[in-house]
Amino acid sequence: MTLSQHTFLNSQSKMPLIEALRTLISQKNVAFHAPGHKQGHGIPQSLEKLLGKTVFTADLPELPELDNLFAPSGVIKKAQELAAEAFGAENTWFLVNGSTCGIIAAILATCNPGDKIILPRNIHQSAITGLIISGAVPVFLNPYYDPLWDLSYSITPNALKQVLEENSDVKAVMIVYPTYHGICGDIKVIADITHRQGIPLLVDEAHGGHFTFHQDLPPCALSMGADLTVQSTHKVLGAMTQASMLHLQGTRIDPQRISRALQLIESTSPSYLLLASLDAARQQMALYGKELLDKTIEFANKARQQLSHIQGLSILDLKEPFCSFYYLDTTRLTVNITALGLSGFEVDKILHQQLGITAELPMLRHLAFIISMGNTTDDITKLIAAFQILSNSYFSPHSPISSFPHLPIPPSPHSPISPRETFFAATKMVDFNYSLGRISGDLICTYPPGIPILMPGEKITDQTLEYLKTVLALGASVTGCSDSSLQKLKVLV
């Protein structure tokens, strides 16, 4: 081990937030401060039965020893500095409201009202909230669509180059890397193109928090030149749900503006359970990330290999780059089940209700599974066995392959009005069938994965209505709209 590795591991073994909480808990001061349960003494019995009391002893407010999330100078500052070092950033912010608040802050920090930002059309809905709050105007790029898998990926360098030529006044570019299904575009070239324009590249890396820690995973976005990345530490690493991080490097984005933006949108009572879980998750990855991911990748490879031999299944792979998509996160397992004659939603139900397996994301033709450090070899065996049962029950070489419609996300029509103006505009509900040609007042997403199908301010087209009708009929759920049955849509008056 080199001296610098030794120094790194030595500093990374520390957990300032965990240590401060441990000290405070042992002091047993009499509490006359929030939260009202006073370290678990006043919790309802039902909660104690479910969770025990221990976790509540660390549910403390911003006491002097615990620093302040919005003006960090003590243990939060130290913990964030350690995270920056571990994840290869210059500055890191701990987030207690998921990547959602990081993505909103990234837009608020780079765009003034009326400024243009380039985004892929299949961006997560949190970016639309960012547009509404900031007043930025989206220039949407249609993502590359893979008809074989019926999957939308992300934007290509060529498409970005072209839209930048047509919009030289754009202030930032945001991309999703990796996609929900683990596909990673040519981020290095995308960063170069963006930087040549003198503007920052913001990366929704919600599903890529583990990339930094293993050479067999796709490269992390910061190492490829991204200026800002937002990671859901809770999705693939060991932090608690909602605990996430925003990382920054370089000089294209003002760190003060990130801090101000986060202060606008996060709670003034951040949960120390979440913050401590970020501190511990960072330490775990810095010290043991390589070994943990060795095992995770091995499990994922075993699942990929064995499932691909089961009749009726195929596994999303990327042996060679295609259309500027270079890497696949192999720990994200996408299983195509169309040859079983069932939809992904039907398979999901059977897996969950009858076979004891719960997937991350069912779609029409396939289901995605997250394989992470929390999985065991037994889990992988059960997953393979469950799919074997499904194949035995439903696959027949003679049965026709399900002929589901292909569902590329409808292209974005020109929006006459920005998401922010739409949010504050007068609206009314009209019958779904009479909404054609009107301007949508709603953000409508199919969930999961929370990708907007209709944006606030967009003209409602035939294609969008057809898409919504089809996905509803096929069993997806739709969120974000005022009438979730979609009998009526909210439109501008």
Ligand X SMILES: Cc1ncc(COP(=O)(O)O)c(C=O)c1O
Residues near ligand X (CB under 6 A) are 98-100, 103, 124, 126, 176, 180, 204, 206, 232, 244, 449-450
Q: Minimum CB separation from ligand X for residue 103, in Å?
A: 6
Residue nearest ligand X by beta-carbon distance: 98
Least distance to ligand X, CB of residue 292, Å: 21
Give least dist CB 162 to ligand X, A.
24
CB of 198 to ligand X, least distance (A): 26
**Cβ 459 to ligand X shortest distance, Å:** 25
Name which of 128 and 307 has its Cβ closer to ligand X: 128
In terms of CB distance, is 329 or 338 closer to ligand X? 329
CB of 291 to ligand X, least distance (A): 26
Q: Which is nearer to ligand X, 177 or 394 (CB)?
A: 177
- Give whichever of 123 and 471 is closer to ligand X, judged by the CB atom: 123
232 or 284: whose CB is closer to ligand X? 232
Nearer to ligand X, 16 or 98 (CB): 98
Nearest CB to ligand X, comparing residues 176 and 261? 176
Residue with tokens 């009209």: 430
Would you say 12 or 99 has its CB closer to ligand X?
99
Minimum gap (Å) between residue 439 Cβ and ligand X: 26
3-state secondary structure the chain: CCHHHHHHHHHHCCCHHHHHHHHHHHHCCCCCCCCCCCCCCCCCHHHHHHHCCHHHHCCCCCCHHHCCCCCCCCHHHHHHHHHHHHHCCCEEEEECCHHHHHHHHHHHHHCCCCCEEEEECCCCHHHHHHHHHHCCEEEEECCCEECCCCEECCCCHHHHHHHHHHCCCEEEEEEECCCCCCEEECHHHHHHHHHHCCCCEEEECCCCCCHHHCCCCCCCCHHHCCCEEEECHHHHCCCCCCCEEEEECCCCCCHHHHHHHHHHHCCCCCCHHHHHHHHHHHHHHHHHHHHHHHHHHHHHHHHHHHHHCCCCCEECCCCCCECCEEEECCCEEEEECHHHCCCHHHHHHHHHHHCCCCCCEECCCEEEEECCCCCCHHHHHHHHHHHHHHHHHHCCCCCCCCCCCCCCCCCCCCCCCCHHHHHHCCEEEEEHHHCCCCEECCCEEEECCCEEEECCCCECCHHHHHHHHHHHHCCCEEECCCCCCCCEEEEEC
* 80 versus 100: smaller Cβ distance to ligand X: 100
**In the complex, least distance from residue 231 CB atom to ligand X, rounded to whole angstroms:** 8
Q: How far is the CB of 131 from ligand X (least distance, A)?
A: 14
Of the candidates 3, 4, 2, 5, the residue with the CA atom closest to the CA atom of residue 290: 5
